[in-house]
Amino acid sequence: MRKEQYEFPLDDLISEDDFKKIKEFSRDKETPFLIIDLDKVEKRYDELVENMPFVKIYYAMKANPLDEVILSLKNKGSNFDAATIYEIDQLLRLGVEPERISYGNTIKKEKDVAYAYQKGIRMFATDSESDLRKIANNAPGSRVFFRLLTESDGADWPLSRKFGSHPDVIYELIILAHELGLEPYGLSFHVGSQQRDIGQWDNAISKCKYLFEAVALHGIKLQMINLGGGFPAKYISPANELETYAHEILRFIWEDFGEDHPEIIIEPGRSLTADAGMIVTEVIMISKKAKLNQYKWVYLDIGKFGGLIETLDECIKYPIYTECKGYEEEVILAGPTCDSMDILYEDHKYVFPDTLNEGERLYIFTTGAYTQSYSSVSFNGFPPLKAYVV
């Protein structure tokens, strides 16, 4: 087999200038760490607004809850989807008005509903009778939106099964909400994160149409559809451009609802922050398990517990770059902890130059979402992932 020189499409991910700046910034810092470029978060936000001017954005803050990220999106005019009272407290501390916050988790303690209500939150997601009654008892008169079950086919990081209910159940919940004095406001769904199949929104929007009509027969007029997240970031496997998503989704809405469609909300997390992040890591060790093994093991100072949990089942494949030069060589990538599940990529073989050495830095792109907030507190004593905002 002829050997090829290692090449990496750096230009697709970052400009030469920006990469130089990042290298300069990170030179004297101990790895691993995450760098978040706030300009890029803002740029992604602007792109969303430009492509989907008809929607109201609720940032799903679990993707990246850094204060700086929240503040810059707040200044851009974003609303926020919070999952817990802790996220709500953080938003309020940063001066986000309660009218701009939805409590989007369908799994809530009674006292947390009461707390949110007391703080001024008036919009809640639900998907069960138990939760709906907690809302009715502790957040009287609030707006409620109902989460539909979706299959998540086509998503790299599925969010299926656990959330949402079948339309039959939702139909009854909507009527019950009305009876309990709440305002049945709309429907929501999440087609799965990093969803590559835009048709999944079509299926879900059709279900919404059916429910809008079914409850209208009871005199209940729903006013909103929450299209969730699922919008793409730039990982190794290609996805369509945001523009294509926006164009297609708008077409689905028009087909079902016409131009006089309900209010549309989206809850982007990954698509706003992933591309704005880069993790800088270092090769700790390179080894071979047996003399004749074909693949080297390359151990990094970051792994599943240090922030790369989305490599579970190799779901999310981050672009990883090194400045070494040499012939291409396929390797197995693993993390530094003493847990055997801390292997990053074994099936999918990453290619690096055969000159890659211990101590060399690797740059992991598209790591601004679902990394730092997932990193463990001190498993094996490793501190949680550091982040720098530039």
**Cis-peptide, bond into residue 32, ω within 30° of zero:** yes
Residue 63 vs 170, nearer CB to ligand PLP: 63
Q: How far is the CB of 44 from ligand PLP (least distance, A)?
A: 11
What tokens does 107 get?
């799994």
* Contact of 66 with 36, CB cutoff 8 Å: yes
Which one of the listed residues 208, 315, 324, 338 is annotated catalytic? 338
Q: How far is the CB of 270 from ligand PLP (least distance, A)?
A: 3
Residue 58 vs 212, nearer CB to ligand PLP: 58
DSSP E strand stretches across the chain: 33-36, 55-60, 79-82, 101-103, 123-126, 143-147, 155-157, 183-188, 193-195, 224-226, 263-266, 277-287, 296-300, 320-321, 328-334, 343-353, 361-365, 386-389
Chain residue at closest Cβ approach to ligand PLP: 229
Distance between first and last Cα of the chain: 44
Q: How far is the CB of 190 from ligand PLP (least distance, A)?
A: 5
Q: How far is the CB of 337 from ligand PLP (least distance, A)?
A: 25
Footprint of ligand PLP on this chain (CB under 6 A)?
A: 60, 62-63, 81, 104, 190, 193, 228-231, 267-271
Residue 26 vs 194, nearer CB to ligand PLP: 194
Q: How far is the CB of 161 from ligand PLP (least distance, A)?
A: 13
- Residue 369 CA to residue 308 CA, distance in Å, equals 10
- Residue 355 CA to residue 86 CA, distance in Å, equals 47
* Contact of 237 with 156, CB cutoff 8 Å: yes
165 DSSP β-pair partners: 148
DSSP string, 145-191: EEEBP---TTEEE---SSS-B-HHHHHHHHHHHHHTT-EEEEEE---
Residue 186 vs 353, nearer CB to ligand PLP: 186
Residue 201 vs 321, nearer CB to ligand PLP: 201
- Residue 182 CA to residue 126 CA, distance in Å, equals 12
Whether 338 is catalytic is yes
- Residue 377 CA to residue 385 CA, distance in Å, equals 9
Q: How far is the CB of 63 from ligand PLP (least distance, A)?
A: 5
Residue 365 vs 382, nearer CB to ligand PLP: 365
278 DSSP β-pair partners: 35, 365
What tokens does 52 get?
């989907």
Q: Which amino acid is at 270?
A: R
Q: How far is the CB of 149 from ligand PLP (least distance, A)?
A: 13
- The number of C-alpha atoms within 13 Å of 23 and in the hemisphere containing its C-beta is 13
Residue 62 vs 74, nearer CB to ligand PLP: 62
* Contact of 135 with 113, CB cutoff 8 Å: yes
Q: Which residues are catalytic?
A: 338
